[in-house]
Amino acid sequence: MSAETLSTAQLIDAANAWLEQDPDAVTHTELEALIADANNGDVRAIAGLHHRFDSRLAFGTAGLRGELGAGPNRMNRVLVTQAAAGLAAYLLTHEPSPSIVIGYDGRTNSEVFARDTAMIMAGAGVRATLLPRLLPTPVLAFAVRHLDVSAGVMVTASHNPAKDNGYKVYLGGDNHGSQIVAPADTDIAHAIDVVAKGSITELPRSTDFVTTDDGVVDEYIARTAAVAGSAKEIVYTYTAMHGVGWDTSKAVFAEAGFSTPVLIEEQAHPDAAFPTVAFPNPEEPGAMDLSYAKAREVGADLAIAHDPDADRLAVAVAGRDGQWRRLSGNEVGILLGWRAAERSHGEGVLAASIVSSPALRTIAAEYGMAYQDTLTGFKWISRIDGLAFGYEEALGYLVDPDKVRDKDGISASVDFLSLAAELKAQGKNVLDRLDEFTARFGAFASRQVSMRFDKVSQISDMMMHVRTHAPTAVGGLSVTSFDDFQNGVDGFAPSDILRMEFEGGARVIVRPSGTEPKLKFYVDASSTAGGVADRHAAAEAVATQLETGMRQLLT
């Protein structure tokens, strides 16, 4: 990150230096045009160069993720090559003969970035293995453990907009195939900064890397299919959301004994433009409309969707009014968590991110299991010792932690399909199961609200405003405690999170998104008073009250 804004002369010099090492014809042409226009005094071109060169896309615990384009503040071949060389240097300082496996999805330049990484790794002396074709993120996460390598890289921007790509890093060994956390992220970032001081044209490259066969994919399929229960009779639709989930999921479903789903053909195959959705994220309004229509047409029991790299799962069902709706991440999480508790017989740990529903803690207490909250991000959940099940409300679930240490939308699909099939065999459905949950554990109402901003600075300004003007009440409810996680709370490392607890046990958590220019807040309320309908009404009323109050507070 530059300490100050570059002058126009410095800006053009930096752009020309970048241009000299850029091997990509598209970004090379883009940058040439910007430089030419900037030299002619074009204000927009100069502003465009400032946006690309005044700062650098930061490498952190999410790796890299950002918009495709030329310059250090974009995802491109120069930046990825620098990241690969920095990661290689980091690995070589930690063991004498490191190894890495690399995967990629169907986004623009994903395969190019993966192959660049493989050549840089091989050139640096790191034993590199490239997965055989575009595949889901969970396959790469599995491969890190299965191949017992030092690290893994997945080139994906998950559910981000079409213009983005990303670079996700996993570590093997004592990290057991989880995503990077501190201090590894900082150490890798420092190594990348050292590389970035020179030109990537000077870096050694080699084609002496291995492209693996389908053995690792076949093993992932077999291990994931083994999650299935005995009941298999279920009618369901499936969408890959224009991503890479279909081929692997199809094989897993068949191996598990489920019938072939009714496919949403328009979204079945990889398409980096994501033409049928505004955002390729099943959480976004409208993203599952094609699924709802097809499910109504075929009389499906449920509709399932993966995000483009298939590490997240969305489930939709027909309501009792006949209208289809997506279950919230918390609804799916508590159903799968309850299922995990039943089969764990009191052994192991249930875990969820702090912004997920408190319901999982209640399940753990009922079954005599340990429970642990984590900071947001599956990199924390996956590191819990003795983990039996973990989830985050943003549609991420881990039902088989012995196989993979990251969220896995495919294995979660198998587990949920098994649950739905078992319920169907009993003459019940998913909504009946949710009512059973409410009768036993109480009603838990949750809201997740995202507020999108044009500038990241606006988000930090808003967080600072709430910190320095801590409310005493929100939506008419008194705040009983206000926790600023930047100061360290509950043993967590300092984080940009605020938590407010209210009379009656409700809570609100506020945090910036780690991957998009959004400020998010999460509302949770619960009730055990009265029957199922009464409990739902009471919890929802408090949640609505707090959501309304938070919207007013943050605008």
Tokens of 356: 């997920």
State the residue for tokens 């930090």.
460
- Which phi-psi region, left, alpha or beta, contains residue 75 (left: φ > 0; alpha: ψ -120 to 50)? beta
Tokens of 58: 């930061």
Best CA proximity match to 240, nearest among 162, 292, 309: 309
What's the Cα-to-Cα distance from 480 to each of 38, 322, 504, 508, 515, rounded to whole Å? 55, 41, 9, 12, 31
- Residue 244: φ, ψ to 5°: -105, 15
Per the annotation, the verdict on 158 as an active-site residue is yes
Which DSSP letter does residue 367 get? T
Q: Is 33 exposed, middle or buried (0-12, 13-18, 19+ CB in 10 A)?
A: middle
Helix or strand run (H / E) with residue 179: strand 178-179
Give 526's strand partners. Answer: 444
State the residue for tokens 């009379």.
503
Contact partners, residue 137, CB within 8 Å, separation at least 6 = 103, 105, 154, 156, 158, 168, 309, 310, 311, 406
Considering the candidates 99, 110, 158, 357, report the single residue annotated as catalytic.
158
Contact partners, residue 496, CB within 8 Å, separation at least 6 = 463, 485, 486, 511, 512
Best CA proximity match to 136, nearest among 260, 59, 224, 257: 224
- Please, what is the Cα angle at 371 between 369 and 438, to 5 degrees? 80
Catalytic residues: 158
